[in-house]
């Protein structure tokens, strides 16, 4: 038995927040590097989430169309053509926590984002996002994200309610007038004093992770808040804003986030048959221990009330 939220029939709350499956049309235009490929080869090579047989059936049944018309599986696409893919969309679930509204002003909205929920539509998510939930349950739209937090990260999130205010925030961010701060629970005893990590960050979109190698310049400042001898709580101040920057920089220091399965390095003994069944050291069932706790500018600041974190 599931309980359906009365505020919006699209959401079902039952050991998580689920979205009732719905029909959706993905639209894209043929890029120059796609031109000359068959419609099936294009989808098979560029959208690897489904097998080739699915795309053959989707074209033959008309769920994939070009310029609004039915085509055959061997149809060769041309640059700038419109491709439509009709699907019955099943979004992955997220945690059932509410998006807590902290302050609702005329042109600025401040909320506390729960872990597991992406900020805006991306990848497999559209309605199970902060933007989607705020629109469905509170009628707040349009919203312009001033900054983003990774899907697994919880914390303070600020939206502009109009394009002019969003542009003001953008200018302040580019001028270095605003600064984000995070708190992370990491493995090991983090060194005392401010630690500055200057290491390039390269994001691999296909793998969905970053690495410290040839890439964009990145800098993060870390300060240990406390330690219990096994883990440390660390204040993180990103100077630049690269994808997964804090997570990969903490891994680079040898102190990855305690339950970050993507960047938590661990080794196994190839002769031991039990090691593959063990979780990495420091892993537990809590949400990713990374939270944006403070966002400040000249003369103002916000604190994110996360009372349940250790």
Q: Which domains, ranges and CATH numbers included, belong to the chain?
A: 22-89 (3.10.290.10), 100-175 (3.30.70.580), 179-296 (3.30.2350.10)
Q: Give the per-residue pLDDT at 116.
A: 94
Which of 41, 53, 150, 198 is labelled catalytic? 150
Report the candidate in 277, 278, 276, 282 with the shortest Cα–Cα distance to residue 256: 282
What is the structure's pLDDT at 71? 96
Longest dimension (CA), the chain: 64
150 is catalytic: yes
Q: What phi and psi values does residue 301 have, to the nearest 5 degrees?
A: -160, 155
Q: Give the pTM.
A: 0.72
Handedness of CA 250, 252, 253, 257 (dihedral sign): positive
Burial of 253 (0-12, 13-18, 19+ CB in 10 A): middle
Each residue's pLDDT, cut to its tens digit, for the chain (310 residues) gives: 334 344 455 788 888 999 988 888 889 999 999 999 999 999 999 988 889 999 999 999 999 999 999 999 999 999 999 999 998 888 899 999 999 999 999 999 999 999 999 999 988 899 999 999 999 999 999 999 999 898 989 999 999 999 999 999 999 988 888 888 999 999 999 999 999 999 999 998 778 889 998 889 999 999 999 999 999 999 999 999 898 999 999 999 999 999 888 888 644 444 444 444 443 444 344 444 445 555 555 555 555 544 433 3
Residue 271 confidence (pLDDT): 44
Give residue 122's pLDDT: 86
């Amino acid at each position: 038995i599931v309980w359906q939220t009365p505020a919006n029939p699209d959401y079902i709350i039952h050991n998580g927040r689920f979205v009732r499956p719905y029909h959706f049309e993905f639209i894209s235009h043929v890029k120059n590097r796609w031109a000359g490929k068959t419609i099936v080869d294009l989808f098979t090579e560029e959208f690897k989430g489904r097998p080739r047989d699915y795309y053959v059936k989707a074209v033959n049944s008309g769920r994939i169309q070009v310029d609004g018309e039915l085509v055959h599986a061997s149809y060769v696409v041309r640059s700038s053509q419109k491709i439509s893919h009709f699907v019955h969309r099943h979004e992955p679930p997220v945690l059932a926590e509410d998006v807590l509204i902290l302050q609702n002003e005329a042109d600025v909205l401040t909320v506390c984002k729960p872990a597991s929920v992406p900020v805006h539509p991306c990848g497999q998510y559209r309605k199970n996002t902060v933007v989607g939930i705020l629109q469905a349950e509170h009628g707040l739209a349009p919203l312009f994200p001033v900054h983003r937090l990774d899907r697994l990260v919880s914390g303070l999130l600020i939206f502009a309610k109009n394009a002019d205010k969003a542009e003001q925030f953008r200018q302040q961010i580019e001028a270095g007038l605003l600064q984000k701060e995070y708190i992370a629970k990491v493995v090991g005893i983090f060194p005392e004093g401010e630690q500055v990590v200057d290491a390039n960050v390269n994001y691999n979109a296909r793998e969905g992770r970053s690495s410290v190698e040839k890439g964009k310049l990145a800098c993060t400042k870390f300060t240990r808040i406390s330690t219990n001898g096994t883990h440390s709580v660390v204040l993180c101040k990103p100077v630049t804003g690269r994808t997964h920057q804090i997570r990969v920089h903490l891994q680079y220091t040898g102190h990855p986030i305690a339950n970050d399965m993507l960047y938590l390095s661990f080794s196994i003994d190839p002769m031991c048959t039990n090691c593959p069944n063990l979780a990495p050291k420091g892993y537990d069932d809590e949400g990713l221990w990374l939270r944006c706790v403070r966002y400040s500018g000249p003369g103002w600041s916000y604190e994110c009330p996360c009372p349940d974190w250790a």
